[in-house]
């Protein structure tokens, strides 16, 4: 009796876990017009659309209604593809997210370049560090001989200690800014996020994901404060980054 009960309980748990996994793989996050998550929905037809990190379509919501919209010319007979994840990330980051949530390895045109020169450059720009010469738009590549980084464009070396120091300051200020924002101290949070942006501009490439997200936060805050002139400035800063993705 005990053996049967234990086996039955185990089977039930296993079945429950499978159902949760199926939900995670087939559900879609419902977002508002600003792409802020509101909830989760199941859309059987949309669930059969495959993923690509270089999609030709995008999933948008109007209330609970899901719509697939083309973002480029799709030749007749070609497959409609959407992205299941945030595409603004290195190949390693995207592959990790897909493996953990959707249990597959992507082989789209972007992912098959893993480890190639174009992929290394994209990863360094999106998630790496910038040249400390502010007149240079180069990105840094790790140099094991000097235990630091070297700019691919001008060859200038940037030490690990300097990077870690700025990164530590940026992390501390980001945490304080997030707490201030969630507590409703908007003016204080705005000042802090401006300091975060300043630190990130010293550390990251102008097209980096972290800098882009900080500027998106500043844009939303300025819009809520109805400071349209400054909001427009940040809108213009974020658009080119999206276009480059």
pLDDT band at 11 (very low <50, low <70, confident <90, very high): low
pLDDT band at 221 (very low <50, low <70, confident <90, very high): very high
| Structural domains of the chain in order of their starting residue, each with its CATH number | 2-85 (2.170.270.10), 117-244 (1.25.40.10)
Structure tokens at 55: 């999609």
* N-to-C CA span, the chain: 60
pLDDT of amino acid 20: 60
Residue 82's contacts (CB-CB under 8 Å, 6 or more residues apart) are 49, 50, 51, 52, 55, 57, 58, 59, 68
Do 192 and 180 form a contact (C-beta atoms < 8 A)? yes
Q: How far apart are CA 58 and CA 129, in angstroms?
A: 30
Q: Which residues of 205-239 are buried (b: 16+ CB within 10 A; e: fewer)?
A: bebbbbbbebbbbbbebbbeeeeeeebeebeebbe
Do 20 and 51 form a contact (C-beta atoms < 8 A)? no
pLDDT in tens, 47-76: 899 999 999 999 988 888 889 999 999 999
Structure tokens at 94: 């995207």
Q: pTM for the complete prediction?
A: 0.75
Long-range (24+ apart) CB contacts under 8 A made by 129-138 are 129/158, 129/163, 129/203, 129/204, 129/205, 130/202, 130/203, 130/204, 130/205, 130/206, 130/208, 131/156, 131/158, 132/156, 132/158, 132/162, 132/202, 137/205, 137/206
Structure tokens at 135: 């007149």
Question: What is the average per-residue pLDDT within 100-118?
Answer: 92
pLDDT in tens, 148-191: 899 999 999 999 999 999 999 999 999 999 999 999 999 999 99
pLDDT of amino acid 4: 46
Residue 214's contacts (CB-CB under 8 Å, 6 or more residues apart) are 174, 193, 196, 197, 200
Do 149 and 157 form a contact (C-beta atoms < 8 A)? yes
């Amino acid at each position: 009796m005990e053996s049967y009960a234990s086996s039955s309980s185990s089977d039930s748990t296993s079945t429950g876990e499978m159902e949760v996994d199926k939900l995670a793989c087939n559900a879609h996050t419902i977002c508002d017009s600003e792409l802020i998550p509101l909830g989760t929905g199941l859309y059987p037809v949309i669930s059969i659309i495959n993923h690509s990190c270089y999609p030709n379509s995008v999933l948008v919501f109007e209330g609970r209604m899901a719509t697939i919209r083309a973002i480029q010319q799709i030749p007749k007979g070609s497959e409609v593809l959407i992205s299941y994840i945030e595409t603004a990330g290195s190949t390693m980051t995207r592959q990790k997210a897909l493996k953990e949530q959707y249990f597959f390895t992507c082989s789209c045109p972007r992912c098959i370049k893993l480890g190639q020169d174009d992929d290394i450059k994209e990863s360094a720009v999106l998630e790496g560090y910038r040249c400390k010469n502010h007149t240079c738009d180069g990105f840094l590549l790790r140099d094991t001989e000097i235990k630091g980084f070297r700019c691919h464009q001008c060859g200038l070396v940037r030490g690990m200690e300097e990077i870690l120091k700025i990164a530590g300051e940026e992390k501390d200020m980001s945490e304080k800014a997030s707490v201030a924002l969630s507590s409703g101290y908007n003016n204080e949070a705005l000042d802090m996020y401006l300091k975060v942006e300043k630190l990130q501009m010293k550390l990251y490439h102008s097209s980096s994901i972290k800098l882009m997200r900080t500027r998106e936060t500043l844009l939303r805050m300025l819009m809520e404060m109805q400071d349209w002139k400054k909001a427009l400035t940040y809108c213009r800063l974020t658009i080119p980054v999206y276009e480059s993705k």
